[in-house]
Amino acid sequence: MKLLGIDVGTGGTRAVILSETGKVLASATHEHAAFASLQLGWAEQDPHDWWRAAAGAIKEALQKAGITGADISCIGLAGQMHGAVLLDENNQVLRPALIWCDQRTQAQCDWVNEKIGAKRIIELTCNPALTNFTLTKLLWVRENEPEIWKRFRRVLLPKDYVRFRLTGEQAIDMADASGTLMLDVANRRWSEAMMSAANLPMSCLPRLFESPEVCARISEEGAAASGLKVGTPVVAGAGDQAGGAVGMGIVRPGSVSATIGTSGVVFAATDHPAMDAQGRVHTFCHAIPGQWHVMGVTQAAGLSLRWFLDLLGAGVSYDELTREAGAVPSGSAGVLWAPYLMGERTPHLDPKARGALVGFTASHTRGHVVRSILEGVAFSLKDTFTLFEAMHVLASSIRLGGGGARSKLWRQIQADVYGHEVEIVEAEEGAAYGAALLAGVGAKHWNSVEEACAAAVHVAVRVQPDRAAEQVLKQQYSLYRQLYVALKPLFAQMS
């Protein structure tokens, strides 16, 4: 038995093939075209490009593993959340998808809050109206592109569009649906009250499934494009955060992950829909039936370091930058980085926030800047841990994922900033790995997601905090907390 996991990310689509024990047999990634940003704060991608990348990655992974599509028992998908793929009556894509980091919908958030009420929205969906969420993207298209809206019939999220191309079925899982602002998260069903209040038709929504449920099978068209076998079952899967959490074994209360990819996420499993009254963290369904999770998001985590690398131009590598940063003491000699390059979600809920690099003197070097970026992203993630403490959400173990787990320096900085031992798991395949484990549950190889994780997810490295560095960074964090408060009035004027 072989399992296939597919992760439709922002930068590319990854396919991972696992053995029946959870061992990675092969993986492949095909990159996406860079997302388009036609105006400040906009972010769009072409769904056809996701499909091209997915089909290519699947074929390459099968080839690397030395198997055919007939050897795959079940398939799971994960992917970037919150995107809006608009389809017409013939299931053709109407326009480029507005993706997770698009910030253009503040006017629509204001309209929803005024019409429905901010408190009522949280009651209906467990979350506030944010510019990232899918519903506000639909409202923007309705208001600004009426000719396209007339032809609109169905909305899919990114991974679900790839599933549609693989199977011909339109479906979504509870975890990914939680980030649309159209799901009754507490009761795990679409919110008719929310849809009615926003004057959106229930018919535009795909069918809901729990993450390990089989919801579709590979079609002839999907098989021809990908090399998979017609009829192979496909489970609902999960948004990238819940899928990545499964891949890291974050399946029981007390287990927490901190993942640094393009964005950064602190994710805690819960056995009930815990909520922050101000909606500063997300309360979503987990990829595990009957479980939920709370999640804080930093919009520009790994993106912060990528942004700085791009500024430097060709000839500079991540390794070179992190070597320079490693030679700088903890605290970056006072330099602070606020990673608000794409606005910010947790804890500020402010699309107008902007990145800020402060505290320079003539003696500071490039290494100080890089280290301040690494520390600033960790400080931003610590904001979520601070909220979790106030919500009485336990963090008995912390596991790291994404680029922040692969960098030894960033691992240590996170342990020092969080003041807690951090763990790194053996398989570093992220959400694609979790999607494959969900497929294993769908194939009945494991009886539950918890059983799958117990069998397949193992800790490879543990990193202890350096207590001296921890004290320095504790002081830096107190200064970091004052940055947003001081700069917020300026951010509003700049926007």
**β-pairing verdict for 292-298 and 264-270:** antiparallel
**β-pairing verdict for 207-209 and 171-173:** parallel
Backbone angles phi, psi at 307, to 5 degrees: -60, -45
Q: Cα–Cα distances in Å, from 440 out to 321, 456, 471?
A: 40, 11, 44
Phi-psi category of 277—alpha, beta or left, where left has phi over 0 and alpha has psi -120 to 50?
Answer: alpha
Catalytic-residue membership of 271: no
CA dist 208 and 190 (Å) reads 8
Buried-exposed string 38-56: b where 16+ CB fall within 10 A, e elsewhere: eeebbbbbbbebbbbbbbb
Q: Is 370 exposed, middle or buried (0-12, 13-18, 19+ CB in 10 A)?
A: buried
Comparing C-alpha atoms, which of 168, 99, 454, 101 is closest to residue 288?
454
> 139 with 109: CB under 8 angstroms?
no
Residue of 49, 160, 173, 240 marked active site? 240
Comparing C-alpha atoms, which of 93, 18, 3 is closest to residue 50?
93
CA dist 3 and 18 (Å) reads 5
Q: Which two tokens stand for residue 444?
A: 């009945």
CA dist 236 and 159 (Å) reads 10
User: What are the residue numbers of the active site?
Assistant: 240
